[in-house]
């Protein structure tokens, strides 16, 4: 895909790997390549699930490239534009019409944490440090962290993480619902790919509508959410995969989905 982001596709699973050693920090070039990668995968017929990871042993992503910050200091509107650019990437992943799994290891800090929060599921290695340490620079998370983290783990826990800037452990992250699974060191990508392969065998039209129903419903009232669910439920009943799935169940055989 590019010099800083690598994409491989196998058996319905795309692996998007950040390759910006040694800490895979987020800079404008990395952000642009990630955005290009996800946009290209959105309509890829051979991709059902995406796994996002960081190359190397030290970090998934250790945050933003602080060297890019000085030009925004004391310049009204400059940091707003920076944040909006980051939001475009995070929103692209958040609203991506296919499941996205983050494989986390090492340091997952700042912009790396916000990138992980934009994914649907998170698989985390033991020993991983996750946090939003921006407060230590006299600033705060500006790539969606103040919005996505409280929705995931609750307002009080999220505020404590952001007020103190202290990273949390993998086990704390698991207990708080920040990550879905904790696996041994060196196994995050393997475990994420195994989970992705399991999901990739399902129907993409149904997967996409589950994601839409949950994401949009969580922002709405229960009445609006259940109406949306009913509309998407009706849509999925018009797909070839739904006919195949129901027929296969009645005929007591394995369903063979074509993602249509």
The answer to whether 143 and 121 are in contact (CB under 8 A) is no
Spatial distance between the Cα atoms of 181 and 80, rounded to a whole number of angstroms: 34
Task: Return d(Cα 35, Cα 176) in angstroms, integer.
Answer: 29
DSSP codes of every residue in 115-159? HHHTSSEEEEETT-EEE-GGGGGT----SSHHHHHHHHH-HHHHH
DSSP 165-227: ---B-HHHHHHHTS-SEEE-TT-HHHHHHHHHHHHHTS-HHHHHHHHHHHHHHTTS-HHHHHH
DSSP string, 32-56: HHHHHHHHHHHT-TTEEEEEEEE-S
DSSP for residue 97: S
Task: Return the number of other C-beta atoms located less than 10 Å from residue 77's C-beta.
Answer: 8
* Cα 27 off chain centre by: 18
Q: Report d(CA 23, CA 5) in Å as an integer.
A: 14
The set of catalytic residues is 114, 134
């Amino acid at each position: 895909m590019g010099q800083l982001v690598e994409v491989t596709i196998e058996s319905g699973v795309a692996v998007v790997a950040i390759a910006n050693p040694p800490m895979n920090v987020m800079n404008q070039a990395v952000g642009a390549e990630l955005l290009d990668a996800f946009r290209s995968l959105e309509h890829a017929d051979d991709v059902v699930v995406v796994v996002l990871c960081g190359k190397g042993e030290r970090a998934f992503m250790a945050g933003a490239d602080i060297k890019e910050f000085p030009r925004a200091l004391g310049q009204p509107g400059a940091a707003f534009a920076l944040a909006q650019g980051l939001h475009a990437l995070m929103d692209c992943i958040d609203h991506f019409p296919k499941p996205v799994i983050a494989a986390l290891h090492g340091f997952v800090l700042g912009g790396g944490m916000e990138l992980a929060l934009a994914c649907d599921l998170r698989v985390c290695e033991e020993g991983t440090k996750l946090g939003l340490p921006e407060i230590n620079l006299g600033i705060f998370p500006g790539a969606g962290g103040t919005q996505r983290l409280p929705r995931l783990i609750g307002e009080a826990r999220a505020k404590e993480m952001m007020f103190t800037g202290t990273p949390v452990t993998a086990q704390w992250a698991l207990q708080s619902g920040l990550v879905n699974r904790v696996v041994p060191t060196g196994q995050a990508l393997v475990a994420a790919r195994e989970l992705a392969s399991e999901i990739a065998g399902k129907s993409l039209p149904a997967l996409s509508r589950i994601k839409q129903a949950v994401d949009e419903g969580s922002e709405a009232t229960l009445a609006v959410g259940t109406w949306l669910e009913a509309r998407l439920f009706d849509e999925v009943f018009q797909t070839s995969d739904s006919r195949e799935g129901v027929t296969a169940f009645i005929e007591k055989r394995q369903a063979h989905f074509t993602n249509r």
